[in-house]
């Protein structure tokens, strides 16, 4: 893809042009993972801190004492979550393009969920050039 063909939400950082940053976050030793209202609050705060534009949140509660799964649909892409309260485990995927700052969501997740252990992987999606 030529530079003049790159669409408006591709970014260039450190000489690399790409569609967006995808963070894969696994957390263990977490409480309140069955609290759907709290999960919605977390998604809203993560979106705000990342300077992203919230379009819609859809969450599903499997039973009153079980996990939550859902997504915050953003103009810049999405944040998804899946929780296993019985294991104290939560998985978040944060994929954002444009000027959004997905790394800003990490301190929010740490503060609100207080994980005993956290694993974060980063993938640059849609790399078009690497200078």
- For residue 75, which of 98, 94, 45 has the smallest C-alpha distance? 98
Q: Is 80 a catalytic residue?
A: no
74 is a domain residue: yes
Q: What is the pLDDT of residues 26-79, one digit of tens each?
A: 999 999 999 999 999 999 999 999 999 999 999 999 876 699 999 999 999 999
Q: Is residue 131 part of a domain?
A: no
DSSP string over 31-93: --TT-HHHHHHHHHHHHHHTT--EEEEEEEESSTTS-EEEEEEETTEEEEEEEETTTTEEEEE
How many structural domains compose the chain?
A: 1
Q: Quick one: how far is CA 8 from the chain centroid?
A: 21
Q: Which of 82, 87, 103, 129 is an active site residue?
A: 82
46, part of any domain = yes
58 catalytic? Reply is no
pLDDT at residue 1 greater than cutoff 50 = no
Tell me, yes or no, if 46 is annotated catalytic: no
Q: Is residue 5 part of a domain?
A: no
Give the CATH number for residue 29: 3.60.90.10
Q: Determine the structural domain holding residue 66 and report its residue range.
A: 20-119
pLDDT in tens, 67-90: 999 999 999 999 999 999 999 999
């Amino acid at each position: 893809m030529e530079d003049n063909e790159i669409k408006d939400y591709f970014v260039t950082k450190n000489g690399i042009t790409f569609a967006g940053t995808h963070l894969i976050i696994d957390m263990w030793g977490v409480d309140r993972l069955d609290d759907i209202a709290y999960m919605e609050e977390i998604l809203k705060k993560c979106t705000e801190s990342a300077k992203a534009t919230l379009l819609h949140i859809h969450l599903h509660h499997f039973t009153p004492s079980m996990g939550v799964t859902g997504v915050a649909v953003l103009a810049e892409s999405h944040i998804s979550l899946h929780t296993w309260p019985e294991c104290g485990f939560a998985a978040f995927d944060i994929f954002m393009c444009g000027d959004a700052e997905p790394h800003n969501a990490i301190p929010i997740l740490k503060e609100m969920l207080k994980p005993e252990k956290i694993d974060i992987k980063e993938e640059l999606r849609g790399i078009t050039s690497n200078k």
